[in-house]
Amino acid sequence: MNTITPINLQERDKAVNWHPYTQMKTADNIIPIVKGKGLYLYDTEGKQYMDVVSSWWVTLHGHSHPYIAQRIFEQLNTLEQVIFAGFTHEPATQLSENLLKLLPHNQNKVFYSDNGSTAVEVALKMCIQYAHNQGKEKTKILAFKNAYHGDTFGAMSVSGKSYWTKPFESRLFEVIFIDTPNAENLESLQLQINEMTDEVACFIYEPLVQGAAGMLMYKAEDLNNLMTFCRQQGILMIQDEVFTGFGRTGKLFAAHYLTEQPDIMCFSKGLTGGTMPMGVTTCSKEIYEAFWSDDKHKTLFHGHSFTANPLACVAALASMELLLKKDTQMNIKRISQQHSEFLKALSQHPQVENPRQIGTILAFDFKTGHGTSYFNEIGKKLYNEFLERGIIMRPLGNVLYLVPPYCISSEELDIVYQNILEILDQFKN
Ligand SMILES: *Cc1c(COP(=O)(O)O)cnc(C)c1O
């Protein structure tokens, strides 16, 4: 007789799955989730978790939103996918029209791909080929220290060097890393850039917040000054709004804090409200026109199987509709205000360093007198303690942060704040 050993989802997972950014040997607490609703995720035991990191910064309106689900379902029964070379469809066209209306006025064309990294790859290829199509080869690319633009090779190249990129370092292309701008260093940045202007293909940056580096924030005014200089020098600018887009910073886009306009913009994460994978690269007319030619060689030879997938497009249309609603805009304001109140309490705490906030993003450094390995240790402990209490807060090193979906209520936010303070007290040095 066969003995059938019933094994649970966790064990089956371990047998077949390899998880992202996870050392599988020491990953002891991978949680099997069966359902998501609004702010909450539910595991196989029925335990609920507040998803205050929006499932890696993607969820905007809460999990399993009925309106987005309905729109995807209807589209699924009408047209689920069609090749986007030689064909088009209503959802993609409508989405491009709607998106361009919200972006800086110089944004003129929309190129679709699958995720944030591919949106960045497309942007980089546009800039390099922009020069090439005009008979120039520009070898240098500018990016900020501590940048994060994704995990594919091009995106890794323009990301700050870390132990994430270490094994691949010799295969990454040349990038000049500069400091993020502040009131003091603008002149020295200008001098540095001035030295190589003619060789620079583009400058890529995360506006206002460097997310993966630990929610590092810098001023719109300083970025704007740097952008003005790049514009004068004729350096193309790629604004990576993969994280900051769709309301996270309190405005629809970080671009709305700036008067200067980038040449190219990248979006993903919140684009579909966190329901379907999709990336978007938008560009100015000037970029587009450098590819517009009778010469076949000037074509942008790039495309993915699922370019402008209709299901992802309607998910984005539905999510943007929800985002623009008065109620959602009020929620974003409310979360921002509540965050800034809490920031005052936080800054009094002896364990807290460098508390910071922009819009719905709140972050601080957990202070310890110990070295970095201790940080990792404490990070894991903090993560587990929050999980225990039914809150998903995944620290970045020693940085704790909140990026909640906009459906979180003020009562729920207060519960999260209260837990943060309790846990900080518990881990006092
Ligand atoms: C997450 C992120 C990316 C990469 O997006 P993926 O969808 O994970 O490939 C790129 N840029 C920024 C600013 C990001 O935060």
Domains (ranges, CATH) in the chain? 9-64+326-426 (3.90.1150.10), 69-323 (3.40.640.10)
Give the distance (Å) from ligand 1 centre to CA of residue 243.
7
pLDDT above 70 covers a percentage of the chain that reads: 97
pLDDT, residue 371, reads 65
Residue 372 has pLDDT above 80, yes or no: no
Residue 269 backbone phi and psi in degrees, to 5: 40, -95
Q: Which of 115, 216, 243 to mutate to test the pocket of ligand 1 (most atoms within 8 A of CB)?
A: 243
Q: Which of 54, 209, 242, 401 to mutate to test the pocket of ligand 1 (most atoms within 8 A of CB)?
A: 242
DSSP-assigned states of every residue in 251-315: SSSGGGG-SS--SEEEE-GGGGTTSS--EEEEEEHHHHHTT-SS-GGGS-----TTTT-HHHHHH
Ligand 1 pocket residue status of 150, Cβ below 6 Å = yes
pLDDT, residue 2, reads 56
Looking at residue 159, the DSSP 8-state letter turns out to be S
- pLDDT tens across 260-308, in order? 999 999 999 999 999 999 999 999 999 999 999 999 999 999 999 999 9
Q: Which of 114, 138, 269, 406 is catalytic?
A: 269
Residue 381 has pLDDT above 60, yes or no: yes
Ligand 1 pocket residue status of 120, Cβ below 6 Å = yes
Tell me, yes or no, if 288 is annotated catalytic: no
Query: Looking at residues 125-140, what average pLDDT do you find?
Result: 97
Q: For residue 186, how many other CB atoms are within 10 A of its CB?
A: 15
- pLDDT tens across 82-104, in order? 999 999 999 999 999 999 999 99
Tell me, yes or no, if 21 is annotated catalytic: yes
Tell me, yes or no, if 179 is annotated catalytic: no
Ligand 1 pocket residue status of 240, Cβ below 6 Å = yes
Ligand 1 pocket residue status of 361, Cβ below 6 Å = no
Atom of ligand 1 nearest to the CA of 240: 13
- pLDDT tens across 118-128, in order? 999 999 999 99
Quote the longest CA-to-CA distance of the chain: 80
Q: Which residue is closest in CA terms to ligand 1's atom 11?
A: 149
Q: Which of 51, 222, 240, 365 is catalytic?
A: 240
Residue with tokens 């997310």: 211
> With contact defined as beta carbons under 8 Å apart, do 159 and 150 qualify?
yes
Give the distance (Å) from ligand 1 centre to CA of residue 120.
8
Lowest mean pLDDT among 129-133, 136-140, 367-371, 376-380: 367-371
Q: Which residue is closest in CA terms to ligand 1's atom 6?
A: 116
Atom of ligand 1 nearest to the CA of 244: 13
pLDDT, residue 111, reads 99
pLDDT, residue 377, reads 79
Give the distance (Å) from ligand 1 centre to CA of residue 150.
5
Ligand 1 pocket residue status of 144, Cβ below 6 Å = no
Give the distance (Å) from ligand 1 centre to CA of residue 427.
31
Residue 325 has pLDDT above 80, yes or no: yes
> With contact defined as beta carbons under 8 Å apart, do 264 and 281 qualify?
yes
Give the distance (Å) from ligand 1 centre to CA of residue 195.
30
Residue with tokens 């970080």: 254
Give the distance (Å) from ligand 1 centre to CA of residue 56.
10
Tell me, yes or no, if 269 is annotated catalytic: yes
- Confidence band, pLDDT 50/70/90 cuts, at residue 40: very high
DSSP-assigned states of every residue in 42-70: EETT--EEE-TTHHHHT-SS-BT-HHHHH
Residue with tokens 């099997």: 32
Residue 370 has pLDDT above 80, yes or no: no
